[in-house]
Amino acid sequence: MKKIFLILLVTVLCFPIFGCGTSRLLQVSKTLSNYEISIDYNDENKSITNTQSVDYVNNSDAILTQICFHLYPTAFKEGAVNKPVSELNTAKAYPNGVSFSNINITRTKLNGKDISPTYEGEDDNILVVQLSERLFPTQRACIYFEYTVALPNILHRFGYGDNTVNLANFYPVACVYENGNWETSPYHCNGDPFYSEMANYKVIINYPLTLTLASTGNQKTTTGSNSKCTSIVARAVRDFACVLSDKFQVISKKENNIIFSYYYFDDETPNTALQCAIDSINTFSNLFMDYPYESYSIVKADFLHGGMEYPNLVYISSDIINYDDYLNVIVHETAHQWWYNLVGNNEFKNPWQDESMTEFCTMLFYDYNKNYNLNRKDMTNAAYENYLFFLSIYKDILGSVDTRMNKSINEYNTDPEYTYMVYVKGVLMYDSLYQLIGKNAFVRALKKYAQSYCYKNVSPEHLIACFENASNANLESFFTAWLDGKVIIN
Ligand SMILES: [Zn+2]
């Protein structure tokens, strides 16, 4: 996700693209879980009626007796404990008044037999399927759901506004099993409260003729007399999302075997946004590893924050007025295609691992693309000034500020504290590291990180080890000092 808070200040160029990593992707996809989702979208009452089968594979090294699923729409129901927006953002998120939603699971089957799942979590946000037999590593189990979801009128990842219907985090998605536990962290208003395994998706969605669909994956659409039907295939992605609108205009361009598309409304220079997406994918492919997919879509959407990343598809908020900010959000969300999608981490527990890195890589982009009206040095200087400004204001108000970054998103006290620690201080940390070990070692570390761990989930130790190996330096005290809040910035 990208929050807009910096005053932005310029710089291009094309890089040769390595061959696409499609064969590795195909190989990896054979070892993953398979989701097949059929969606009927009703535009009149803004609801979806779905069937979903999950061919779940136990990719842990433990023997499983149950499988847990996140039900993220429960955060949007009336009375939810873990609400999707903070009080500070409620009015902006719900311009037409607070609106609720929920997910109603009407049928669950395990390996073809009807079962009754149980629900856990403060908002019944975790669905638990008890297995009839132990599931050994690499073994598979088939879980089937029928469910309906009523969408809330909220300008969020999941919900609808005046221009777009945002369908993300709407379906039961398997929790990650690691270190002997299911990671069942609930939704949270700060940051991106998600953590999932790579999986393959086949999605069929029926929707009215008047709408245009942007989505993760490769689409094939047939048009009937009353409706459209789009079949989508996405291999080795961390999630699936789509956006519908009757206002979308679409421009596309194929480059390096990737179809780039821009879904927009109210944009006088759409080719500039599309080119920014192409420049971003090309730059990060060159720096880290090839973008291995066949499509990448940027989507203008009704969304209260700056932007939001999903595999192959990102939201860019229609609220952004300054076009340099708009392009900067495109760069940021594109960097997440590596730091979130290709290399996964627990975004709930360690947001600095992907979010701070993504924000610094966004600034790094301008070192290689000098025709944009922004540059890294000005941006890191602005981050420094903004950070000091935040500290002085909050110290005056609260007496002290917790500057630790090694905490979960629900441990940050306020929206601004999360934003200034993870985005702003996070950038200062990576900029300090960049200056300490130098550009070559820094980029070498990220290349190694991407290429070693793509399609996997990794802990902070894996990232730190990449920086240590690339720089031949012990960086434990560096990261400890920054993450524990012991570095004094003044
Ligand atoms: Zn982000």
Domain architecture of the chain: domains with CATH = 33-197 (2.60.40), 352-483 (1.10.390.10)
Write the CB contacts of 87 (distance below 8 Å, at least 6 apart in sequence): none
Rg (CA), the chain: 22
Q: How far is the CA of 98 from the centre of ligand 1 (A)?
A: 26
Q: What pTM value is reported for the model?
A: 0.95
Instruction: Please give the Cα distance from 278 to 219 (Å, whole number).
Output: 20
Q: How far is the CA of 471 from the centre of ligand 1 (A)?
A: 26
Q: How far is the CA of 305 from the centre of ligand 1 (A)?
A: 10
Which CA distances in Å does 163 have to 253, 318, 397?
Answer: 24, 9, 39
Q: How far is the CA of 65 from the centre of ligand 1 (A)?
A: 35
pLDDT score, position 5? 54
Q: How far is the CA of 104 from the centre of ligand 1 (A)?
A: 30
Q: Which of 198, 199, 197, 237 is nearest to 217 (CA)?
A: 237
The first and second tokens of residue 60, run together, are: 């842990």
Write the CB contacts of 487 (distance below 8 Å, at least 6 apart in sequence): 429, 481
Tell me the per-residue pLDDT of 313-332, one tens digit each, with 9 for 90 and over: 999 999 999 999 999 999 99
Three-state secondary-structure class, residue 379: helix
136 phi and psi angles, rounded to 5 deg: -80, 160
Q: How far apart are the first and last CA of the chain?
A: 28
pLDDT band at 173 (very low <50, low <70, confident <90, very high): very high
Which residue has tokens 């208003």?
Answer: 189
Q: How far is the CA of 357 from the centre of ligand 1 (A)?
A: 9
pLDDT score, position 13? 31
Q: How far is the CA of 4 from the centre of ligand 1 (A)?
A: 10
User: 485 or 17: whose pLDDT is higher?
Assistant: 485
Q: Which of 144, 84, 85, 135 is nearest to 110 (CA)?
A: 144
Q: How far is the CA of 391 from the centre of ligand 1 (A)?
A: 22
Q: How far is the CA of 415 from the centre of ligand 1 (A)?
A: 14
Tell me the per-residue pLDDT of 197-252, one tens digit each, with 9 for 90 and over: 999 999 999 999 999 999 999 999 999 999 999 999 999 999 999 999 999 999 99
Tell me the per-residue pLDDT of 67-119, one tens digit each, with 9 for 90 and over: 999 999 999 999 999 999 999 899 999 999 999 998 999 999 999 999 999 99
- Strands (E) in 161-248, as ranges, are 165-168, 173-174, 176-178, 181-183, 199-208, 212-215, 218-223, 227-237, 241-245
How confident is the prediction for the chain on average, in pLDDT?
94
Are 140 and 199 a contacting pair, CB within 8 Å? no
Q: How far is the CA of 351 from the centre of ligand 1 (A)?
A: 9
